[in-house]
Each structure stands twice: as structure tokens, then as C-alpha cells.
């Protein structure tokens, strides 16, 4: 049955971090299947208030004041008002984050008269549940979040966090994030897979033939890149290899200074924001994600789909996807020696790297393709709409 789905998320294209990318991928797939998809999000300077993005109807209508407590209050008020105004246009609301979005939908759940599915984007210190624990008025905000109809947990750790904060297990469904396994694929003999590397350093020494370990994501404390660099400095003294950091963020300047202090500037490259991540992943030989917290990392899914051996921290979300020495290597986030050994292993042992990468690709293709994930969401949407669950006011 064709449905009209409203995706509620505080930021959307052209902001394209993990939750935004996942909302876009799932929304585009729903449109391809004949559903109507709306996105209610915040205003972006220079972008039109209303736009059509690959069939997704984007409404940038929510506003906020970026000033202390006023930020949350104004965003909550604006999002909830926008949802109420457009409530006749959709059958169900699906939030792709569980902070102010979930508070807004909880506040007006009764007036919406539609099921609301809340999907937290991350767990741990940087996830929404612990962020709410640190927010003024958290008891009221928690009650608002619990008013929503149902919750999609994209990692086992998110399930545990929700139940610990009073959400009944019957209102939580374990779900997954997905990846486009056609866009993110291993290199073929016809690919000039090292071209992005040569373009990054034109006229400089040719390092494209040397082993490349890649990180893709925000340069943010959550990603634990300072710990990674401590381990990489030791690798660089023992092997000729390169660490390539794709992305930008608030930690960039400090990370560059750390690279200089460690004396490994010749083996670390900062590529900045890049558009075609798939090309850069195909240029690499291994993928690394040392994060302190994640939900279900899009970047990790993309690295696995590309057939790269993936080195990840032992945290919620990562361990749901990577099995140690089967589909990747799992290391404690604070174990510098463990990261040093794991990085050396994939740089030195090509058969090991190939085995892990091939297994990762097979697992992602079987379990995390976007069509497979969206099919499960369609089934959950249909169940919520057929059940007509009562509003929970607590």
C-alpha cells in the first residue's frame, strides 16, 4: 500500500552527516517504491524553503535562536508547529534523530493523530539519550520523548539505553541502517582507483602505490582521531604507509598540530570535505573507525561495502556489524598498542586484509542493502498504522 511518510530531522541536505544521509537514502528508496515522502527540517540560509530532491518534498520551515536554552525551546516550538500545520499531508512521522525532533513529536502527538516512529542516531556519550541526560529540563523532555508511538533502535546499545530510560521493550523494534551496495563497491580492473590520491597532491611525491588506510567522517572528538594518530605515529616509524582523513570538522586544526608534534606529516593526509566518497574508498586498502560512540555508522557500512578490511572500536553499533577476525578487526578505543598492532596487520598482511574485506562485502550485501532495510521499515510502518496504538501520556 502506498503511504505518505513525513521524515522529521533537524538538519537535511545540504548538511549531509550520518543521520541526514540515511534519511535521504531511505526517503529516495521509498519514493522509488511509489510512496510520498516529506521532510520537515530547519531553514538553511541560501536554500529554498521548499524543494524537491529526487522526489522527496523538502520543507525547510523550522527556525531557532542559537542562544543557550533558547536554541532547544525555539527549535521545539518551531518543529512541532510545522508538524501540526502539515499533519493532513502524511500518514506517519519518522524522526531520524531522537533529540529535539522526538521532543517535538511527543509534544504534539495527540494533535497529530498519527503514529510517530522515533529513530535515535547514536548511542553513548555523544548519542541523544545521554545528551538528554545532560540537558536542563531533562525529566520533562524524557516524558515528551516517551509519548511517541514506537522506537527504532539501530544498535543493541540504543535498545539498552531506551529501556533504561523507561521505554517498554514492546515499543522498540531492532532495525538497521543501510548502504547503496552498487555505489559503494570494490574496485574493478577498469577503475583507475588511485586517481583521487594523485589529484590530492599534484606535483608532490607519488605515494599512491603505497598502502592507504582511510578514515571518513567528521573531524570531531567523538571520532577519537587523536588516539588514532598516537597509534599511527608508531606505524609510520615501522612501515611506509599513509593515513588519509576524509572530512572536516572542529578538530581539524588541533589534529594537524598533533601530526606535526608526532613527526608524521609525510604519512598523514587531510583531504577535507569530498563529494564522491566511493571513489576515495576504492583508492584505499583499509578503513578505520576509532569512534567513542556510534549508532550504525554510514561510513563503516560504506567501507565494508567497498570490500575494505575495517578496523573499528569496540563500542555499540560497530560490534553489531563487525565480527573480530571475520569481517574486520575490533579494538578497544583507548588501546593505543592494540590499534598499532591492528594497523600494522592490515598494512603488512595482504591475504588477511583481502579475507576480511571480502567477508565484509558479503555480509553487507546480504544484510544491509538499502532495499532490504527499507522493506523492513515498510513492514514496520504498516504494522504501526494497522495497530492504531493509543497515545501514551506519561
| Residue ranges of domains in the chain, CATH in brackets | 4-178+370-387 (3.40.50.2000), 195-367 (3.40.50.2000)
72-118 pLDDT, tens per residue? 899 999 999 999 999 999 999 999 999 999 999 999 999 999 999 99
Q: pTM for the whole thing?
A: 0.88
* Distance between CA atoms of residues 288 and 290, nearest Å: 6
- Residue 101 contacts residue 107 (beta carbons within 8 Å): no
Residue with the larger pLDDT of the pair 221 and 207: 221
Per-residue pLDDT at 82 = 96
Give the model's pLDDT for residue 198.
81
* In the predicted structure, residue 389 carries a pLDDT above the cut 70: no
Residues 255-280 have a mean pLDDT of 95
Convert the pLDDT of each residue in 327-345 to its tens digit: 999 999 999 999 999 999 9
- E strands, 99-252, are 116-118, 150-153, 172-174, 212-216, 242-246
pLDDT (mean) for 314-333:
95
Residue 151's pLDDT is 98
Q: SS3 of 317, please? A: coil
What's the rounded Cα separation, in Å, for the pair 105 and 118?
Answer: 9
Lowest-confidence range among 53-62, 95-104, 114-123, 382-391?
A: 382-391
- Judge whether residue 390 has pLDDT over 80: no
pLDDT at residue number 316: 85
CA distance 256 to 305: 29
Cis peptide before 14 (omega within 30 of 0): yes
Average pLDDT over residues 352-364: 98
Sheet with 329-331, edge to edge strand ranges: 268-272, 242-246, 212-216, 286-289, 310-313, 329-331
What is the per-residue pLDDT for 394?
32
Amino acid at each position: 500500500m502506498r503511504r505518505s511518510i513525513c521524515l522529521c530531522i533537524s538538519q537535511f541536505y545540504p548538511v549531509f552527516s550520518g543521520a541526514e544521509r540515511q534519511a535521504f537514502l531511505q526517503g529516495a528508496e521509498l519514493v522509488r517504491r511509489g510512496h510520498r515522502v516529506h521532510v520537515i527540517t530547519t531553514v538553511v540560509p541560501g536554500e529554498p524553503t521548499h524543494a524537491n530532491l529526487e522526489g522527496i518534498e523538502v520543507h525547510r520551515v523550522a527556525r531557532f535562536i542559537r542562544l543557550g536554552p533558547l536554541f532547544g525551546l525555539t527549535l521545539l516550538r518551531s518543529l512541532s508547529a510545522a508538524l501540526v500545520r502539515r499533519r493532513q499531508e502524511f500518514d506517519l512521522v519518522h524522526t531520524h534523530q531522537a533529540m529535539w525532533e522526538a521532543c517535538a513529536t511527543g509534544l504534539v502527538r495527540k494533535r497529530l493523530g498519527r503514529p510517530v516512529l522515533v529513530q535515535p542516531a547514536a548511542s553513548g556519550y555523544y548519542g541523544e539519550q545521554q545528551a538528554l541526560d545532560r540537558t536542563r529540563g531533562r525529566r520533562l523532555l524524557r516524558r515528551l520523548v516517551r509519548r511517541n508511538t514506537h522506537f527504532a533502535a539501530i544498535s543493541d546499545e540504543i535498545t539498552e539505553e531506551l529501556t533504561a530510560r523507561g521505554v517498554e521493550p514492546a515499543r522498540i523494534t531492532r532495525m538497521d541502517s543501510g548502504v547503496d551496495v552498487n555505489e559503494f563497491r570494490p574496485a574493478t580492473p577498469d577503475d583507475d582507483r588511485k586517481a583521487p590520491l594523485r589529484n590530492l597532491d599534484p606535483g608532490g611525491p607519488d605515494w599512491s602505490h603505497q598502502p592507504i588506510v582511510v578514515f571518513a567522517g567528521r573531524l570531531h572528538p567523538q571520532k577519537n582521531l587523536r588516539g588514532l594518530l598516537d597509534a599511527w605515529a608508531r606505524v609510520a616509524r615501522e612501515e611506509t604507509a599513509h593515513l588519509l582523513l576524509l572530512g572536516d570538522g572542529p578538530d581539524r586544526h588541533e589534529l594537524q598540530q598533533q601530526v606535526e608534534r608526532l613527526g608524521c606529516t609525510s604519512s598523514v593526509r587531510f583531504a577535507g570535505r569530498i563529494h564522491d566518497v566511493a571513489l576515495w574508498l576504492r583508492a584505499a586498502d583499509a578503513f578505520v573507525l576509532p569512534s567513542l560512540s556510534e549508532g550504525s555508522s554510514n561510513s563503516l557500512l560504506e567501507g565494508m561495502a567497498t570490500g575494505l578490511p575495517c578496523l573499528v572500536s569496540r563500542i555499540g553499533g560497530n560490534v553489531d556489524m563487525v565480527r573480530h577476525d571475520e569481517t574486520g578487526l575490533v579494538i578497544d578505543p583507548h588501546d593505543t598498542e592494540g590499534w598499532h598492532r591492528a594497523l600494522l596487520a592490515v598494512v603488512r598482511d595482504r591475504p588477511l586484509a583481502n579475507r576480511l574485506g571480502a567477508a565484509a562485502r558479503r555480509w553487507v550485501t546480504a544484510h544491509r542493502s538499502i532495499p532490504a532495510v527499507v522493506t523492513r521499515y515498510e513492514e514496520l510502518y504498516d504494522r504501526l498504522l494497522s495497530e492504531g496504538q493509543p497515545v501514551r501520556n506519561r
